[in-house]
Amino acid sequence: MTITYREALREALREALTEDERVFLMGEDVGAYGGCFGVSLGLLEEFGPERIRDTPLSESAFVGAGIGAALGGMRPIVEIMTVNFSLLALDQIINNAATLRHMSGGQLGVPLVIRMTTGAGRQLAAQHSHSLEGWYAHIPGLRIIAPATIEDARGMLWTALEDPDPVLLFEHGSLYNVPGELAADAAAVDIDRAAIRRAGGDVTLVGYGGTLRTALTAADELAADGVEAEVVDLRTLRPLDEDTVLDSVRRTHRLVIVDEGWRTGSLSAEIAARAAEAALYELDAPIERVCTAEVPIPYAKQLEDAALPQAADVVAAARRAVG
């Protein structure tokens, strides 16, 4: 059936709420309003206010409540409107959720899922266009996942809820309206391994979340010129499945990383470093990184587009590597 990314996320929430009575959703405007991006629309009427809980505008408070509920045996799903608002809950996420298992000697787990919208490209200006997944991927004790496809949007949540540790699920805002085909028997999916979304032998393009579509578009353009790009979807940003990336590099001998984060200290830098450490002599060209310009994201559409990784930038980087 044809379904949008937003609807796939809603179906994932519906399944979790139906299958496990310990699951509940809470966040700002998730109930009566249906979620800032419409993901939870209709779930309040279906499951009631005990399971779909609107919260005050205090990220630190309701993320902390989610941590407490998880410690108490529940399976909370906390929605933070956009990733920039998660900065108001950094202490709860990093100093509490991520560390409690370690600091309790393994006695305490925090089976909490935090969903948040990430990414730019929608003219929401500098304060609401962050891509901070790479920041969180730096933190031990957290699992970071970024569904880029309809299947992953539908299937990652259930797998995340089964994880005994906190999972941060990043939903790229540009994907919500994107349609795709979903099998009738779609179920939980793996969140341990990256996926090859397009096979090729000339250059490896690595993307995730919103940048996967950019990489795939670039691969189509390259194919028209006879360059076959292999496209890797990271899917999970911590822990990174470096084996899939390195295996691809050993086949193609060239690597281009597409990352909507800023270049300095980015996830792309980590992938490039690992490739250099483990597969340097497999590379026939310097590693290329296509990242967001190191500026606050502009509001003006033409400036926003200029700041973000575009398919043309990826094509140019791949041609440099191949050439």
Report the Cα 235 to chain-centroid distance in Å. 7
> What are the Cα distances from residue 161, in Å, to 137, 155, 169?
18, 11, 11
**Catalytic site residue 128?**
yes
* Sign (positive or negative) of CA dihedral 89, 268, 153, 128: positive
How far is 12 from 25, CA to CA, in rounded Å?
12
Residue 79: name the closest of 96, 94, 65 by CA: 65
Of 7, 15, 28, 59, catalytic? 59
Asked if residue 167 lies in contact with residue 113, where contact means CB atoms within 8 angstroms, the answer is: yes
Q: Which two tokens stand for residue 106?
A: 């393994």
Catalytic-residue membership of 151: no
The residue behind tokens 């990430």 is: 118
Q: How many Cα atoms sit within 13 Å of 227 on the Cβ side? A: 25
Half-sphere exposure of 106 (CA within 13 A, CB side): 0
Q: Which of 128, 138, 228, 282 is catalytic?
A: 128
- Among 67, 90, 91, 92, smallest CA distance to 78 is for 67
E strand intervals along 71-162: 75-82, 113-118, 143-145
Which residues sit opposite 292 in a β-bridge? 262
Q: Are the CB atoms for 163 and 143 separated by under 8 Å? A: yes
Residues noted as catalytic = 59, 128
